[in-house]
Amino acid sequence: MTRLTVVWYCLVLLITPGLLGEDLPSTAHGDALVAKYFRQETQRLADRTDKLLAGMQSVAQWEAEKPKLRHQLFEMLGLDPLPAKTDLQPVITGQVEHEEFTVDKLHFQSSPGLYVTGNFYRPKNASGPLPTVLYVCGHSVNKKDGISYGNKVGYQHHGAWYARQGYACLTIDTLQLGEIEGLHHGTYKEGMWWWLTRGYTPAGVEAWNCIRALDYLETRPEVDKTRIGVTGRSGGGAYSWYIAALDERIQVAVPTAGITTLKNHIVDGCIEGHCDCMFQVNTYGWDYALVAALVAPRPLLIANTDKDTIFPLDGVVEVHRQVRHIYDLYGKPEQLGLCITEGPHKDTQELQVHEFVWFNRFLKQSETPIDKVATKFFEPEQLRVFEALPADQRNTRIQEEFVPAAPDAVPATKAEWESRRTPWLATLYQKSFGNRPVMPWIDLKETASVTQRDIRWTDYEYLSEEPYRLSLVTASPEGLDRAHAERVVLHVLDQTEWERVNQFITMGKSLAQFKLEAEFGNAWLAFLEQCRQPGTVHLFMTPRGVGPTEWTRDARERIHIRRRFALLGRTDDSARVWDVTQALLARQAIPGLRDKPLTIQGERQAAGWALYAALLGGGTGYRLDLTDLPATHRDGPIFLNADRFLKPPHAVAFALDVDQSAVTLRFTQSFRQEDWAFPEAIEALLGARDNAGLTLEPMRTETGP
């Protein structure tokens, strides 16, 4: 680029706003917007949870509400439908002796090939069934020479203490850092955003393993099935919450450093210190006091330290405050406790003493003073379950298999398709887009208008969702009366397209009259020619997080922004779909454009935003022109739970039928005909129609804007 062109281009940027706002020098504006959005949405969900719990007026009212809430929690953990309870195939691989107790080294299969390794502690010379504690471990690295001995090794002192005090205790490994090393870090650092769209969370596997651990304990003659408690800290604290909420065989619970509020996670940033195992897929927009309330009225001690940076004190106290009302309804306030000791996020002796006292009180009905500390007696090698890992293990790939994926079977008849279509689409609305906001007032405003290069450029802004006022730029041939326009084309832009088209529009609206063809080539000329198409009005929009509202470019910070959306029961992609649906409404408010035939265009991820906006936006008869639409949600766009019910080809079939749309799928890269067999089959079932149909166009070159 010549020096003269650089000077001219800088002047253009100073004089003429860029597409959808000014060409921002940083992401500060986008960062401020998304932070404000997170604050307001977190408060909305927190208020909703608080109102639900505080509004309970009687035990009968709460008991009527609990089954629905418990079912939602099962679903959000990927446990609806519940996996089959197959043979546990328990095996004791060895024993370790201490003068006061014996440790069985064992494994069982919670599902075929899903191994749970554990140590079962039992006192010597005990008679009769014993009060029993299920101890669920947090993350603890115990590896030597490439061999993982499991996080149970790091928490062995708890099992030993219980056995020395007359309890039985089963300490189980988790996926991450277990003897068979599975994965908790899918979205945290592995880029596996498809976990969200599959409705998968490792918290669900851990909850299932705990359910099956209870099944195993019930087979042990040493265990009193009526006196089983659960505890664990950090990640184990979270799993203690989940299993106590889900399974009433747990009679007493002491979750330690395992729960806090949405505000702490989202607004205060605690999510950045947690991997995926801490969270359910928050389809129903819960704050975490709802998980705790499901334990009531069973004895529950909420334990934490006062300087824990990832489970802050204010959030722990707030959860206790909200749950206390439910215990008061039952008339059992003494069965809810709050234990705060001094210290950081650490398994301290002070915390352990309160844990032990609580179990003594409610599992043994004893107030005997604690006169022994929790001590580690064994080397990691002594507690190892497997000498060689089983060849049929599924632990390392369970994320691929735990939650069933959408079926590919094509309905055999038109009647079968029609019977499935409506409930199928309703499921999508509820499970993937259920937390969309109340429809705001669009509040469309014209902000600027200029005619240059035989094109009329008009800038609008509209309210999509507080605090997002997004812009819509229109381009039409000079002199075209919009009332006489023949069609409207809405271009949904991703970041790549915005950076290109924004440059073109900025130049198109400028007063400068340089020969730009040499600098920007045929793409610039083709863009101008497209905007001059007779009878056509072009609209250009970018959803949140793109262009002027782009948030940070720091890769790690962007990960946690996406994770925050998921904790709110949305994704950044589902929020962008909402922005496009609001752009469709804004288009109707532009004078002369309301009833004009509409084409919606998008590329790559934006093609997915456009497709789902067409399904959710309430209109019909669109033309969808989509380039490089991913064939699976694994490749995006990411919507909570979507892959449990449908794939992008299914959504195309909905557009063909429900929306009566004409869909053109263009491909500039790899293309497999079989990926799109489903909409082709549905089109064949539907038969010929005047304005709807599917066109597949493999291409070799990039399309125009």
Tokens matching residue 154: 């790091």
Residue 514 has pLDDT above 60, yes or no: no
Q: Where are the alpha helices (DSSP H) in 509-623?
A: 517-531, 555-567, 572-589, 605-616
Residue 71 has pLDDT above 60, yes or no: yes
Residue 465 has pLDDT above 60, yes or no: yes
Residue 659 has pLDDT above 80, yes or no: yes
Q: Are 313 and 321 in contact (CB under 8 A)?
A: no
Residue 703 has pLDDT above 70, yes or no: no
Residue 24 has pLDDT above 50, yes or no: no
Residue 230 — very low, low, confident or very high, per pLDDT cuts 50/70/90?
very high
Q: Which of 389, 346, 347 is nearest to 148 (CA)?
A: 389
Tokens matching residue 293: 């309330």
Residue 512 — very low, low, confident or very high, per pLDDT cuts 50/70/90?
low
Whether CATH 3.40.50.1820 fits 91-401: yes
Ranked by mean pLDDT, the top range of 106-110, 416-420, 421-425 is: 106-110
Residue 215 has pLDDT above 60, yes or no: yes
E strand spans, 345-495: 445-452, 455-465, 468-477, 487-492
CA geometry: angle 153, 159, 162, nearest 5 deg: 165
What confidence score (pLDDT) does residue 546 get? Answer: 97
Residue 581 — very low, low, confident or very high, per pLDDT cuts 50/70/90?
very high
Q: Are 539 and 482 in contact (CB under 8 A)?
A: no
Residue 212 has pLDDT above 50, yes or no: yes
Residue 275 has pLDDT above 60, yes or no: yes
Residue 7 has pLDDT above 50, yes or no: no
Alpha-carbon separation of residue 267 from 112, 167, 201, 223, 319 (angstroms): 40, 41, 22, 43, 16
* Residue 196 neighbours by CB under 8 Å, 6+ apart: 187, 281, 566, 571, 638, 639, 640
- Phi and psi dihedrals of 90, rounded to 5? -70, 145
What confidence score (pLDDT) does residue 664 get? Answer: 96
Residue 10 has pLDDT above 90, yes or no: no
Of 91-95, 203-207, 588-592, which gets the smallest average pLDDT?
Answer: 588-592
What value does the mean pLDDT take over residues 330-358?
A: 96
What value does the mean pLDDT take over residues 396-419?
A: 93
Of 382-386, 516-520, 521-525, which gets the smallest average pLDDT?
Answer: 516-520
What confidence score (pLDDT) does residue 521 get? Answer: 73
Q: What whole-number distance in Å separates Cα of residue 130 and Cα of residue 475?
A: 78
Give exposure, 106-123, as e/b (b: 16+ Cβ within 10 Å).
bbbbbbeebbbbbbbbbb
What value does the mean pLDDT take over residues 427-449?
A: 90
Asked if the domains 91-401 and 434-698 are classified in one and the same CATH topology, the answer is: yes
What value does the mean pLDDT take over residues 66-92?
A: 98
What confidence score (pLDDT) does residue 26 get? Answer: 77
- pLDDT tens, residue by residue, 351-400: 999 999 999 999 999 999 998 899 999 999 999 999 999 999 999 999 99
What confidence score (pLDDT) does residue 246 get? Answer: 98
458 Rama class: left (phi>0) / alpha (psi -120 to 50) / beta: beta
What confidence score (pLDDT) does residue 517 get? Answer: 54
What value does the mean pLDDT take over residues 609-620?
A: 90
- Only one residue has tokens 């990039």, namely 702
What confidence score (pLDDT) does residue 127 get? Answer: 85
Of 482-486, 514-518, 532-536, which gets the smallest average pLDDT?
Answer: 514-518
What confidence score (pLDDT) does residue 1 get? Answer: 31
What confidence score (pLDDT) does residue 344 get? Answer: 96
The amino acid present at 564, given as its one-letter code, is R
SS3 label, residue 275: coil
What confidence score (pLDDT) does residue 518 get? Answer: 58
Residue 20 — very low, low, confident or very high, per pLDDT cuts 50/70/90?
very low
What value does the mean pLDDT take over residues 405-432?
A: 91
What confidence score (pLDDT) does residue 15 get? Answer: 30
Q: What whole-number distance in Å separates Cα of residue 140 and Cα of residue 156?
A: 11
Supply the mean pLDDT for the chain: 92
**Does the model's pTM come out above 0.75?**
yes
The CATH class of the 434-698 domain is alpha beta
Residue 515 — very low, low, confident or very high, per pLDDT cuts 50/70/90?
low
- pLDDT tens, residue by residue, 158-180: 999 999 999 999 999 999 999 99
What value does the mean pLDDT take over residues 247-267?
A: 97
Of 55-59, 258-262, 407-411, 571-575, which gets the smallest average pLDDT?
Answer: 407-411
Q: Residue 477, class by beta-carbon neighbours within 10 Å (0-12 exposed, 13-18 middle, 19+ buried)?
A: middle
Q: Residue 88, class by beta-carbon neighbours within 10 Å (0-12 exposed, 13-18 middle, 19+ buried)?
A: middle
What value does the mean pLDDT take over residues 46-61?
A: 98
Residue 704 has pLDDT above 50, yes or no: no
Q: Write down the domain spans for the chain.
A: 91-401, 434-698
- pLDDT tens, residue by residue, 619-651: 788 999 999 999 999 999 999 999 999 999 999
Rg (CA), the chain: 29
Residue 33 has pLDDT above 60, yes or no: yes
